[in-house]
Amino acid sequence: CPLGPALLFVKTSQGREEGRRFYACSACRDRKDCNFFQWEDEKVSEARLAAREEYNRNHQPSFTHRQNVERYKNFVLLPLSKRRFCQECQQLLLPVEWEKHSDHQFLCDVSSAQLKSPSQLLYPLENKKTNAQYLFADRSCQFLLNLIIDLGFRRVLSVGTPRLHEMIQSKASLEEDFRVRSLLLDIDFRYSQFYTEDEFCHYNMFNHYFFGGEAAHETCRKFLNQDNDERVIMVTDPPFGGLVEALASSFKKLMAMWKETEKEGRNNQEMPMFWIFPYFFESRILEFFPSFSMMDYQVDYDNHALYKHGKTGRRQSPVRIFTNLTPSMIVLPVEEGYRFCAVCQRYVSSGNQHCEICNSCTSKDGRRWKHCALCKKCVKPSWFHCSNCNCCALQNHTCEKTGAGCYVCGKAGHKRSTCPSLSSA
């Protein structure tokens, strides 16, 4: 489809172990965004294949990355009064193109500072499953960059983190002694208007697809091939509605690229990584990356109403940093309410009290959790033990025993995601 190779899914029916397999778009869960669909065992006619190729061709960007780089060079040579940005087409305009966009909304007098901050110039794409451009607030972005520098990293593979990449690029152009470099991999091709082919690769993180082909793949490989002991870290902030399994598969391939660049000494090592994702995906992430642990730091976003730092209770940002680095190395700011737990050997939220029974700081959401002797674990303060479900839940919940069983096999006691039939298949 226009977003690269499709993924293979399975359509299940309740009570039946086997489902029918089909291909669909790797990035778009909504058919309105991409209507690609094909049963795995379906015979596709030549006419339909030709129509699909034609459709894919028609859904490619107007300009190539190289053309956009040349256009940018011409754009910055224009006097301020002739620098226009079409807000409707999200495109930098050269004077010869003005007439074609005459009935569109313009942004005039685009300054050099605005060109260095494209994430503020472009409209965020807020489809939560495909693009979900909820952009880091300055507080979180600055914290991440300071942490990266303090840990001794000099190269950042920015996968879906345009604002972090932008901050690094901006500092590198303004500060002579700033040594950190960044390569942005992002599905949003609009960024090709502002960055060269060495600074940006059009990339789909759901299927590890480089739209620029072998040349873009080589750009990424070269960037990961650290010179002069410049250590590399990957920072990624995927759409929260994305499939963890597909993301993990792509990230493992990027890690393998990193491992291949070193001649020796990396056999049992993983590329250092920060995966920024909501805390309730912890078990899914650890399933694919057992070496990862979750930090208590709350990541907040400029353009998301709920994901803000400093709110209380359920209003706090649920977004955290998952990393394969040693937790004690991740120093969290004391002035923002974090403290070091000597037993856990990591920084935790001040409300996250150490449980002597679990022997861990167990809270995930910043509130103080309570230990349930029957569940043999700590639970949220608003939860109570239910004798029907034999576990803790909200007081006004619907008991599992009265509900339907697993969607795949129809049996009670587990959900679809943990169905034994599904995992054995």
pLDDT at 199 over 90: yes
| CATH class of the region 65-110 | alpha beta
pLDDT at 423 over 60: no
CATH 3.30.160 placement within the chain: 65-110
Range with the lowest mean pLDDT among 43-47, 92-96, 180-184, 229-233?
229-233
Range with the lowest mean pLDDT among 255-269, 270-284, 301-315?
301-315
Single pTM value for the model: 0.87
pLDDT class for 422, splitting at 50, 70, 90? Answer: low
State the average pLDDT over residues 90-101. 93
pLDDT at 124 over 90: no
Strands 200-204, 181-186: pairing is parallel
Amino acid identity at 129: K
pLDDT of residue 301: 86
Alpha carbons 262 and 320: distance in angstroms, whole number: 30
DSSP state of 394: E
pLDDT of residue 407: 54
**pLDDT (tens digit, 9 = 90+) per residue, 329-363?**
999 999 988 999 999 899 998 888 888 888 888 88
pLDDT class for 300, splitting at 50, 70, 90? Answer: confident
Classify domain 138-260+267-350 by CATH architecture. 3-Layer(aba) Sandwich (3.40)
DSSP string, 219-253: HHHHHHS-STT-EEEEEE---TTS-HHHHHHHHHH
CATH 3.40.50 placement within the chain: 138-260+267-350
Q: Would you call 185 helix, strand, or coil by DSSP?
A: strand
